Structure 1
Amino acid sequence: MNRYEREFDTDWDALGKDGATDRAYAIGVAERLGEYNREELEAIYAEMDSAYHRSMVELAYDEGRNEAKATAEATNADGDAIWAELVEGERTTVDEDDIPTGGRDGLPDALAPSELLDRQEVDSTEAVSRPEFLDR
């Protein structure tokens, strides 16, 4: 059983585009590490229903191969360490100080919705009254 088969279930019936690109990326990494799985890659291509999605799968596969090659050249890590870093270790941590807390829904004030477009109350006559600058 190779790295790809340990990480991903190969008995799938249908794949979405996100799952297909994740799998194609992993196949690219595994192939650069010497583990070929062309049948699975061809099955993923066949599952995609449009040329656009097939091209996304192909790009993910190429990206996996290229990143595995670059990582292997930049470090003296073995295949397991490269696999763990590129496929298993895709975790992003955000420092609590970097989380936006301003405005409504945690958005920065510049992106918060404005009250200018809010509707007037039904009983409001202010919208049709004389403007203050016309009063003497």
Structure 2
Amino acid sequence: MSRYEREYGPWDDLDRDEATERAYAIGVAEKLGEYNREELEAIYEAMETSYDRSMVELAYREGRREATAVAEEVDDGAAVWADLVEGETTVIDPGDAPTGGRDGLPEALDPTDLLDRQNVDSTEALDLPDFLKK
């Protein structure tokens, strides 16, 4: 039984996120010498749109690329698999994303209210400007 088969069980239906995760793992496993092309083809066929299929392809390639990079530093295939596939998932709250400074996004990319719509019930647009009022 391969690493992929131990980590991921059988499936009936996949959404895009599950499919990309599995394709990434297949790419990592392939770089470690465990080929599972039939599973990857089945995942491609399960995707309904060409966009989803391209996301699966990108995840597969990224898995192969990252496994190659990590394998250059670590000779143990189990360590590569554990680091890339079994590693801890980090979820970042969008409100906690750093802005400004050396490690954050530029302030120009901060959210703005310029494109927010007016309140639908507002009649301010029909009022006279302040400089025309007595």
TM-score normalised per structure 2: 0.69
RMSD: 3.2
What residue number does 2:8 align with? 8
What residue number does 2:77 align with? 79
3-state SS of paired residue (2:27): helix
1:93-122 Cα offsets, whole Å, 9 max, x none, are 77xxx947xxxxxxxxx74869x945779x
1:48-127 alignment to 2 at 5 Å? 48-73=47-72, 75-92=73-90, 99=96, 111=111, 117-118=118-119
Unaligned runs of 5+ in 2: 98-109
Percent identity for Structure 1 against Structure 2: 55
Indicate how the Cα distance of structure 1 residues 76 and 46 shifts in structure 2: closer, same or farther if over 3 A, else same: same
3-state SS of paired residue (2:85): helix
Unaligned runs of 5+ in 1: 101-109, 122-126
What residue number does 2:33 align with? 34
Aligned-pair distance for 1:72?
Answer: 0.7
CA distance in structure 2 between the aligned counterparts of 1:56 and 1:69, rounded to whole angstroms: 20
Aligned residues: 119
Aligned-pair distance for 1:44?
Answer: 0.5
